[in-house]
Amino acid sequence: MEESDSFSLRAAIHRECTGKTPERRIIEGCIILSPRLEHRVTDHAQTKKKNAVSERQTSVRPCRARDGCGCACGSAEKVSSVERLDSGEALEGSGCYAHSMPTQRCMAHWRRAFHKKRASFLQILTTGHSCVLKNFRTMDSKKGPEKSQNTTSADADSTTTAVPKEDTNPSSSTESSQTSSTEPGLLPGETVVREGKAAILFPSANEVFYNPVQEFNRDLTCAVITEFAREQLAQKGIRILVPGEKDRVVVRLSEEKNGMVDEEASEQLENEQQKEEEADEKEYITASVGERCEQGLCVLEGLAASGLRSVRFALEVPGLKSITANDYSAKAAALIARNAQHNNVSHILQASQRDASMVMYEARGRKERYDVIDLDPYGSPSPFLDAAVQAVSEGGLLCVTCTDMAVMAGNSGETCYSKYGSMSIKSRYCHEMALRIILHCLDQRAAVYQRYIEPLLSVSVDFYIRVFVRVKTGQAVVKNSASKQALLYNCVGCGVFHLQRMGKRTSQGKHMKYSASTGPPVGPNCEHCRQRHQLGGPVWAEPLHDIKFVQKILDAVSGNPTRFRTSKRIEGVLSMVTEELQDVPLYYALDHLSSTVHCNTPPMLQFRSALLHAGHRVSFSHACKNAVKTDAPAGVLWDIMRCWEKSNPVKRERLSETSPAHRILSTEPTLQACFEIREDANPQSRKRHLTRFQENPQANWGPKARARAGGGISSELEDKRKHFQGKRKKPITDSSQLKSLPCKKFRKGTCTHGDKCCYSHELEQETNEDKMD
């Protein structure tokens, strides 16, 4: 290649490195070429290969890789001047001269890594190799260590963070996201946890309260707030820009035929979107990620802890005016401020050290309330709900997480009633019932202040539930609140349930008349198995989701899959949500139906086909893998199970005459079920093999213990846990072993057995003596 062409290419690379071209991309201090400039470098390499064969053989110029092990393309050849490389001396010149055809191989390796797995290419860059793009790490080091480590571009994707290769798998363990204090700007002993575009500092590895299970929660929240901001700011003439969305191709489930996408429809949709974007650019004000938008949304995270969620909002959600990350702990507030500074988002994120309820109560009287409130507590959010429904603005978004699933799933119904005003019962539909309990609680709290809720998205995943609701004000709509709640009658024998609305509304011309409902809808005993009923609720009896809003989120996530590491799971869960029957509360479990009558479980597609042949609707549920959500009455379900039992008979002589199985099977079916599989029995999410129900990728994949100041748990509590581990599973049969346990009555001073007591009094005496010392 001629001297002028080579100089022109180096000048183009230099312009892109100095940020004078829009194609500049900075990821963890390394500058990545745009695809257009990449082709120029590739052409340069191919021309150099043809015209410089002799030059390669006689060249002694070394590769610019500093460790002397060869080029980034993977060659193991040593360079000629290894002494200079070991000394760390920076050599001038561009390109790789360590071995034959290195530049072309480097660029080919770069293209494969960039298009297949960007994190793999990033791992190559972070090891110190920079033969293709010159030593850009040395160039960026002049800007300061903190700036180069945390520079964020609007065009950079969240998946291109400096994490190990195995961490790019959405379902993989994120323990490798913790790194020691090897990067500049960190204090001794500090630990960095990376998620999305955020890099969160922790004072010590022992004080890290980071649960990788909640990454799906945070990714989903970023996606929901982004679409919410898009709707809200569009009314003000502001258009948000999300990195990677311009190149997305939207694929809707309704446009697919047998799993194949209609290419013409997709091309037409792309052209329409392009025309709309070109027209909007002239009329709309744009808001990008990381920029402060004066007319944007005000966000409050009431229980921020380390501030990870708020930092991710600032770095990944466009159209935000301010973010308040609040925590009652002084250490947490200081850590939030340090993390905001470390991620260069101090202009958007402010740390607050106050009681979360007081922060929200004070905001209710202001003209500008919070547009988005995120509550993600450890346990129940019930103490904060009353303040939250008042502090959120008109039409604002309220995001609530509940992790006390043991209470909401029926283990402690009385506790659930005291916290949420609803009685939970044990059932197979307990996870969806938990969603309806928290929605009932939110609507009830909002109705006190003449406000009401509109659920946008409600999901039950892993060990928690997450709801996103819009809060509005309207006295006329609040009158419908009673008709939106329902009591639940659940049969303890066969699991059949019935709902009874709390209120009733009837139309009288232009007016609506509200009255109490009449009931109950069932008799004293179940009509199928003659067992008694349990009474639960009240629960939310209206739809759990806004399907149009969910479809927008699904389109955005599926069209920009590199934005989140859990994009595949988000796409799978939201696809199931769009397929659910919205007007059918709760569901049955197929394995529970078969276990009730003691027969083999029919295949899911055959059972769904039988319901479709009978003229009823049926769908899955994202909350349960074996769920059957249908508008068919319970009698139809048992008729189908009776027909299945005839072809798969059970030994009825072993069944008790009073058992639910005997009473159900002793009745002849009135419906002749057809088990021929129908094509519409298999939904699109199942045909496409989406990640609908993720398996736990590692052991102990679940909730963590409550965070404690200083990190970890006390040694006394650790010994107590070991002492009582398996106490109920392995009861003590030898009375001599009871001497190792303290006497509770002796502790209270009420033990009258003296030395004959089977429990130990010495342990309590030693403890009291230690306290006196």
DSSP letter (8 states) at residue 532 = B
- Give whichever of 39-53, 649-663, 705-719, 754-768 has the largest mean pLDDT: 649-663
Residue 125 has a pLDDT of 39
Among the residue ranges 27-41, 225-239, 537-551, the one predicted with the least confidence is: 27-41
Contact, 302 vs 341, CB < 8 A?
Answer: no
- The yes-or-no verdict on residue 132 having pLDDT over 50 is no
- The yes-or-no verdict on residue 167 having pLDDT over 50 is no
- State which amino acid sits at residue 242: V
> How many CB atoms within 10 Å of residue 524?
8
Contact, 468 vs 500, CB < 8 A?
Answer: no
- The yes-or-no verdict on residue 156 having pLDDT over 70 is no
Nearest Cα to Cα of residue 546 among 610, 438, 458, 476:
458
Tens of pLDDT, residue by residue over 531-581, are: 999 999 899 999 999 999 999 999 999 999 999 999 999 999 999 999 999
Residue 319 has a pLDDT of 92
Average pLDDT over residues 255-279: 52
Average pLDDT over residues 84-110: 39
Average pLDDT over residues 667-692: 90
Residue 758 has a pLDDT of 81
Measure the CA–CA gap between 458 and 758, rounded to whole angstroms. Answer: 53
> How many CB atoms within 10 Å of residue 612?
19
Q: Which residue has the higher pLDDT, 542 or 720?
A: 542
Element (H, E) at 120: helix 118-126
Strands 588-589 and 624-630, bridge-based pairing: antiparallel
Residue 424 confidence class, pLDDT cut points 50, 70, 90: very high
Structure tokens at 289: 């990620």
- Give whichever of 155-159, 181-185, 243-247, 668-672 has the largest mean pLDDT: 668-672
Structure tokens at 419: 């916290």
Residue 226 has a pLDDT of 95
Structure tokens at 476: 């006329």
Measure the CA–CA gap between 201 and 651, rounded to whole angstroms. Answer: 63
- The yes-or-no verdict on residue 158 having pLDDT over 80 is no
- The yes-or-no verdict on residue 325 having pLDDT over 60 is yes
Which domains are assigned to the chain? 3-143 (no CATH), 231-487+531-559 (3.40.50.150), 584-687 (3.30.56.70), 730-772 (no CATH)
- Give whichever of 135-144, 257-266, 584-593 has the largest mean pLDDT: 584-593
Residue 37 has a pLDDT of 53
Structure tokens at 265: 């429809």
Average pLDDT over residues 94-104: 39
> How many CB atoms within 10 Å of residue 733?
6
Measure the CA–CA gap between 486 and 499, rounded to whole angstroms. Answer: 6
Average pLDDT over residues 259-277: 55
Residue 456 confidence class, pLDDT cut points 50, 70, 90: very high
Is the N-terminal amide bond of 203 cis, ω within 30° of 0? no
- Give whichever of 11-20, 51-60, 476-485 has the largest mean pLDDT: 476-485
Query: Residue 4, SS3?
Result: helix
- The yes-or-no verdict on residue 768 having pLDDT over 50 is no
Residue 459 confidence class, pLDDT cut points 50, 70, 90: very high
Quick one: CA torsion of 330, 331, 333, 334, rounded to 10 degrees?
Answer: 120
Structure tokens at 556: 């955005």
Average pLDDT over residues 68-79: 40
Tens of pLDDT, residue by residue over 198-208, are: 999 887 755 55
β-bridge partners, 107: none
Residue 65 confidence class, pLDDT cut points 50, 70, 90: very low
β-bridge partners, 31: 26
Angle at 486 between CA 480 and CA 489, to 5 degrees: 165
Query: Residue 385, SS3?
Result: helix
- The yes-or-no verdict on residue 274 having pLDDT over 80 is no
For 386-420, give the DSSP string.
HHHHHHEEEEEEEEEEE--HHHHTTTTHHHHHHHH
Residue 742 has a pLDDT of 79
For 254-266, give the DSSP string.
GGEETTEE-HHHH
Structure tokens at 538: 């009240």
Mean pLDDT across the chain: 75
- The yes-or-no verdict on residue 352 having pLDDT over 70 is yes
- The yes-or-no verdict on residue 179 having pLDDT over 80 is no
Q: Chain-centre distance of CA 763, in angstroms?
A: 47
Residue 391 has a pLDDT of 95
Cα separations (Å) of 267 from 25, 264, 274, 684, 764?
Answer: 28, 5, 10, 21, 78
Is the N-terminal amide bond of 538 cis, ω within 30° of 0? yes
SS3 of the chain: helix, strand, coil, percent, to 5: 40, 20, 40
Query: Residue 322, SS3?
Result: strand
Q: Which residue has the higher pLDDT, 500 or 12?
A: 500
Angle at 90 between CA 153 and CA 59, to 5 degrees: 115
- Give whichever of 2-16, 205-219, 375-389 has the largest mean pLDDT: 375-389
β-bridge partners, 629: 619
Quick one: CA torsion of 138, 142, 144, 147, rounded to 10 degrees?
Answer: -70
pTM of the predicted model as reported, rounded to 2 decimal places: 0.69
Cα separations (Å) of 443 from 225, 414, 455, 477, 541?
Answer: 21, 20, 10, 11, 12
Residue carrying structure tokens 């990788």: 212
Q: Which residue has the higher pLDDT, 229 or 133?
A: 229
> How many CB atoms within 10 Å of residue 728?
6
